[in-house]
Structure 1
Amino acid sequence: MSMPDGRLSCTACDYRGFMVFRRITLAYHFADGTTVDAPRDIRWCSDCGNPRDTESSQPALEPLQAELDALKASSATPRYQVKRWFSRLFGLGADDLQKRADELRGQIRLAKARGDECRCLTCAGVHTFPLTFDENGVCTGFQHDCGGHLKLDPPDMDAPRFNYGRETIHLDEAGKRIQ
């Protein structure tokens, strides 16, 4: 499905830019061979001077750890242990509970490794700011270099649209691209 680009303008200068909505997955590769997938975000990169694809901010550790602890408690019950034993006996893979626990462990590890830093995927700069828009389409929480605010222009439904395929960007645990 094609989507219109998010066209931006500044309320105080003649800046024009756009945000491209694409389906991108970030695959973080750790030194021990573990890979953790994460979403990407669109943020303002001060080094590039434009909106760019960036790492997304990491979720809080406490809710992730609480969910993991609850899954560990569920997997410790005798009923689950019997079910797991039969699954191994018949050569079945990991069940949903184990897959979710592994996913949570990866997200916790990634959150600890990356912290609050959101690196630009174009220039690898760390000076990025979230682009959040109010109900009028004006960017809140970020001010353009000229002192104005970015504004999301209404989409032009007659403009050409592009369909971008899924893309996976491979990063090391520091958030830098792996070539």
Structure 2
Amino acid sequence: MDPIVKAALKKWPNVPHCYGWLALDARGDWYMRDERIQAAGPFPQVKGSRIVHEKLREFIERNYEADEQGCWFFQNGPQRVYLQLEATPWVWRLAATPAGPQLRSHTGRPAQFRSAWLDELGRLYLDSDIGPGLVHSLDMETAADAVEQGLWTPQDIHAAELPARFGFQRQPEAQ
């Protein structure tokens, strides 16, 4: 977490949390969802405005965490902005190496492979030391090579079972 964010938390510890205004899609893109977009429909059917500003994306990525209930958020100064997730908290980008694919999250964070899971639509999920994620569609060839080489053996799972199995929430709501 950025030092400036930690300082803001100390200065204003009781700022209300924010829900529904930020989302992460299955390709690792961040979306702003203002009141008009939220009223137009649920995420991901109505996504909102894709965040393309590089510095803003980097700020979100550095301050992206989960709470004890498995709700993922962006700590925006003193305010927690809870995310809606299309698929999983992480979207994996893969780099082929002689030892097997290296995992890097949509935020650039490296991870260590634990297990592979395949859902009813053929989407591949990987569990890691930092949590579960969906393999980015552009990296499925690298993932298929790992399966063919016997490095990964995907187990079957229904997409709806992922949050309970791996302890995260796709649509956090105010308590």
TM-score by length of 2: 0.25
Structure with max Cα Rg:
1
TM-score by length of 1: 0.25
Higher strand share: 2
